[in-house]
Every structure is written in structure tokens, then in C-alpha cells.
Structure 1
């Protein structure tokens, strides 16, 4: 029975690893597409009517840069736990800004994937919720396996005091 348990654990770890890489690839592609056509992303941000005009340029540079840095950190196991938490919080912020714009009656293109973006609130909500759930699942599995993660920049003791 012990062999079956190790196979189950191996499959679970493999799936978590695939989901982690999926999150990283999504963030990297999203960031790269925004950087590729930064002017279109500035226009998308402007359509939200959320940021002052002077902040549009810096925000348009910061968001895709952050997405690509998070993706690289996830892939390279550098600050992985912190990067997962930041990824979830970024997705949550994106979803809240999307919701605020929707409630204000603003018809927007989210700008998340540049020219590849689909213009539908239902699609954008579903995509963001799925990405948040996947990120939470990977985060939950990562926290559950802290003793196995030697690359964490944190000094966490699993002993109870």
C-alpha cells in the first residue's frame, strides 16, 4: 500500500507543478503582451477611468513588469511562496477593478492580454476566478509542503512552541 501512496503523492506533486507553471506562463504572456503594445495598454487603462492621467504611463509599465517578475520568480523557485501570494492579490485587484468598472457601466476591454483579449465581462470574470482558484490551490499545496521547500527565503519552523 505504501507504493500506491507514493504514486498518489507523485501525481499530486506533478499536477501542482503543472498548475504552478501554468500560472507563471499566463502571467508572463500577459505581461509580455502588454509590454509589446504598451500604448494600447495605456488606452485600456484609460478606459477604466480609474487612474489619473499622469499615472497611466507608470502604471502601464509597472503592471506588466510585475507580472513578468512574478512569473520568473515562480518558475525559478525564487520567493515562490511570496510570489504565489502576490499573484493571487494581483488577480484579486484586477477582478475588483473590473467589477468596479462593470458596476459603473463602463464598457471596457480589460487589456490583460493585449491584442489577444476577449471583450466580454462574463469571460473576464470566469477567467479571473479560475486563475484565482488555481493560484489558491497551488498556494495551499505549497503551504502544506513547507518542510519540503528548501528554496523559501523565509526561516519557518514547523515545530510548535
Structure 2
């Protein structure tokens, strides 16, 4: 069962890195995608649009490397939850926009609503994998095992 966590780290981390890397070259597209959801105040849209790809890459790297796994998984689960809510909200309000999940400006697209169930299912599955890592962050082949390894050598520690 310990290798389930490794698989979750690699899949979710890989998705984050790809998503962030595809958005990073053109931050205006990312800002446009955030804006098209019509959920955030305009004052915060540019900040979210510019910072989201960087955050996605950082979370992805942490998960791939198994470094700060639980905090990275918490951020991952929260982001995936927000994406599920965003896509469901767009669907409920009749917006037909590209999700912008893997680059692109998330602009109006004819019949984009047909993709919403798949996008919600994908993000929900990634959120569940992230929550698994919140619950069981300890996995083999993780830098956490080296960086945060116990230093106890078996000798009693004296307080004197």
C-alpha cells in the first residue's frame, strides 16, 4: 500500500508540473482564463492568474520529489477543490468556456459544457489522490525520508 502514495505523488505532481509549465510562457492567457470564470473580483484576477502557474509547478515539484509532501498535498487538494467548484459554477451559470487548465485563455468555446463532466471528474480524482497524501504522506522514494529522517541513534539523550 505504501507504493500507492508514490503513484499518487507522481501522477498528481506530474499533472501540476505540466499544467503550470504550459501556462507559464504566456501569463496573460492564464489571467484571461481566471477572468473568464467570473468568480473573483477584478482586483485579484491578475495576481491569481500570474501566480497560479508558479504555484502549480512548485506543488508539482514537491509532490514529485516527496518533499514537504503533506503541505503540498493540502495545497493540491484545496486547488483541485477550487477548480471543481469553478468548473461546476461555470456549468451551472451556462458559461461555455475552455477550462484553461492546461494553458489557453479559457475563452468562450462552442459546446464547452460537454467537457465539464470529464473535467470535474478528473479534478475530483486528483483531489482524492491529494487527500490520500494528506492522510498518508509517508511514501518510499521521498526526500522527506532523508530531510526529516529521525536522528535518534538509540542512545538515551541526557538532559544535563
Contact preservation (8 Å) 1:80, 1:152: no
| Superposition RMSD in Å | 2.7
Query: Which residue number corresponds to residue 156 of structure 2?
Result: none
- In the alignment, does 2:37 pair up with 1:48? yes
Instruction: Give runs of aligned pairs for residues 12-161 of structure 1, distance below 5 A.
Output: 12-115=1-104, 119=112, 120-142=115-137, 149=145, 151-152=147-148
| TM-score scaled by length of structure 1 | 0.73
| TM-score scaled by length of structure 2 | 0.74
Gaps of 5+ in 2: 150-160
- Quote how far apart the aligned CAs of 1:59 are: 1.1
- Quote how far apart the aligned CAs of 1:128 are: 0.8
Contact preservation (8 Å) 1:21, 1:75: yes
Q: Which has the higher helix share?
A: 1
Gaps of 5+ in 1: 1-11, 154-161
